[in-house]
């Protein structure tokens, strides 16, 4: 997709006083070739009409610019200032992005992930930057989403993939809510005081503290995510919650048997809660045996499986993409993110990027065109592009 005329760039308000950025950043457009399979013009036209006319929501992405060389990311994150991809977001066709910040890579003050001070710095810096422009705005309520759509802007919902930074203090959930967070995970791969992560060999499920935290999240109106939690933690979180919960970005283990994806039991219980399952496109995760070279079609194999398993009202898309070399990010942060190659499951063909789902700008244009091409109705497309998430948020947010 061609770049539009340049608008505000992150931290322009500093007038270069801090010599930012400290490293060259990846481009927002044309880092890789367009989706190679392509779509018929009539399918693209209908897809674009649907994107423009309806509220479209990415349930999980990182809409920021990473360094051109991913090896520079630790130094870049150390500044506490990731750069929002303002131009890319304006061209994305999206109404709202669930923006999950630096997450476990927010090593601003040290080398350990998920530190409270690092998360607070990340939240504050990003919101200071957003406050100096008006095209991309913070979303905290359903009314905000409708206003963003009416005004033709893009909204960001701030989230965290794990509640690990709160330690054993549920009151810190209130603080995070006050700082703008509206979606939070239980655990990220490693277990924490709330429950088991999907990286553990022993699944202890949700703890007593985790149950109290789920209650507090419900009281606050924090959307709960179990994407990186163990299956038992996800099931027990759904059972403990009196509101819908999300799997914001994952896929079906029945399609590709790796721990990062979800078993049928947890997919069903999340759907039964009234929640929504977002299809991920993080490299080398939502692969399929029919399409072992990870691309749009691989992800759609997971979409079709989940659609058949839990129905049209419980599926959506959370591509988990960014602006830059995502495969390189996994290499740089392999130890922190636990994305080392495994030998106890199927091995995908290695790809340099996920063709058709490479960044937040292109994702939903291609998703919508594929849905049109495959014969989904306008109403079905509206649901999976944003309507399902909007419906669930109506039951979660205060």
248: domain CATH number is: 3.20.20.140
- Asked whether residue 21 is domain-assigned, the answer is no
Q: Give the pLDDT score at 336.
A: 66
Instruction: Report pLDDT digits (tens) over 159-180.
Output: 999 999 999 999 999 999 999 9
Q: What is the mean pLDDT of the chain?
A: 94
> Are 216 and 170 within 8 A, CB to CB?
yes
Give the count of domains, the chain. 1
Nearest alpha-carbon partner for 61 in 22, 103, 24: 103
Q: Give the pLDDT score at 280.
A: 98
Task: Say if residue 175 is exposed, middle or buried (CB neighbours under 10 Å; 0-12, 13-18, 19+).
Answer: middle
Task: Say if residue 2 is exposed, middle or buried (CB neighbours under 10 Å; 0-12, 13-18, 19+).
Answer: exposed
Tell me how far apart the alpha carbons of residues 160 and 163 are, in angstroms, rounded to a whole number: 7
- Asked whether residue 30 is domain-assigned, the answer is no
pTM score, two decimals? Answer: 0.95
- Asked whether residue 9 is domain-assigned, the answer is no
Q: Is the pLDDT of residue 109 over 70?
A: yes
- Asked whether residue 36 is domain-assigned, the answer is no
Q: Give the pLDDT score at 65.
A: 97
- Asked whether residue 258 is domain-assigned, the answer is yes
Q: Give the pLDDT score at 201.
A: 87
- Domain residues for the domain of 267 are 41-396
Q: Is the pLDDT of residue 343 over 70?
A: no
Can you tell me the mean pLDDT for 251-261?
A: 96
Nearest alpha-carbon partner for 40 in 381, 375, 365, 373: 373
- Asked whether residue 62 is domain-assigned, the answer is yes
Tell me how far apart the alpha carbons of residues 209 and 240 are, in angstroms, rounded to a whole number: 12
Half-sphere exposure of 146 (CA within 13 A, CB side): 7
- Asked whether residue 1 is domain-assigned, the answer is no
- Asked whether residue 17 is domain-assigned, the answer is no
Q: Give the pLDDT score at 53.
A: 97
Can you tell me the mean pLDDT for 284-288?
A: 97
> Are 329 and 66 within 8 A, CB to CB?
yes
Q: Is the pLDDT of residue 394 over 60?
A: yes
């Amino acid at each position: 997709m061609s770049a539009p005329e340049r608008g505000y760039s992150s931290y322009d308000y500093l007038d270069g006083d801090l010599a930012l950025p400290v490293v060259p950043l990846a481009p927002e457009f044309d880092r890789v070739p367009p989706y190679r399979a392509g779509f018929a013009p009539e399918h693209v036209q209908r897809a674009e009409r649907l994107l423009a006319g309806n509220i479209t929501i990415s349930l999980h992405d990182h809409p920021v610019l990473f360094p051109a060389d991913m090896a520079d990311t630790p130094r870049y994150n150390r500044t506490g200032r990731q750069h929002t991809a303002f131009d890319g977001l304006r061209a994305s066709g999206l109404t709202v992005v669930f923006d999950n910040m630096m997450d476990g890579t927010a090593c601003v003050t040290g080398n350990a992930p998920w530190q409270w001070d690092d998360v607070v710095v990340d939240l504050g810096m990003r919101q200071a930057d957003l406050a100096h422009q008006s095209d991309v705005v913070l979303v905290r309520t359903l009314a905000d989403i409708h206003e963003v759509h009416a005004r033709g802007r893009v909204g960001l919902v701030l989230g965290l993939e794990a509640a690990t930074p709160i330690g054993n203090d549920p009151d810190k959930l209130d603080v995070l809510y006050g700082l703008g967070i509206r979606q939070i995970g239980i655990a990220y791969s490693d277990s924490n005081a709330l429950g088991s992560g999907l990286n553990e060999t022993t699944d202890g499920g949700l703890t007593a503290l985790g149950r109290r935290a789920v209650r507090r999240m419900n009281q606050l109106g924090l959307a709960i995510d179990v994407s990186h939690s163990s299956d038992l933690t996800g099931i027990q979180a759904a059972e403990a919650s009196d509101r819908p919960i999300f799997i914001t970005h994952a896929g079906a283990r029945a399609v590709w048997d790796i721990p990062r994806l979800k078993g049928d039991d947890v997919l069903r219980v999340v759907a039964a809660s009234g929640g929504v399952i977002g299809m991920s496109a993080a490299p080398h995760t939502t692969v399929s045996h029919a399409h072992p070279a990870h691309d749009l079609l691989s992800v759609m194999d997971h979409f079709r499986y989940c659609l058949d398993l839990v129905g049209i009202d419980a599926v959506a898309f959370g591509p988990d993409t960014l602006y830059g070399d995502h495969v390189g990010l996994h290499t740089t942060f392999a130890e922190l993110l636990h994305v080392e190659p495994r030998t106890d499951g199927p091995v995908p063909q290695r790809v340099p990027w996920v063709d058709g789902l490479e960044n937040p700008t292109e994702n939903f244009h291609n998703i919508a065109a594929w849905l049109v091409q495959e014969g989904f109705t306008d109403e079905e497309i509206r649901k999976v592009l944003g309507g399902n998430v909007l419906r669930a948020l109506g039951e979660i947010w205060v």
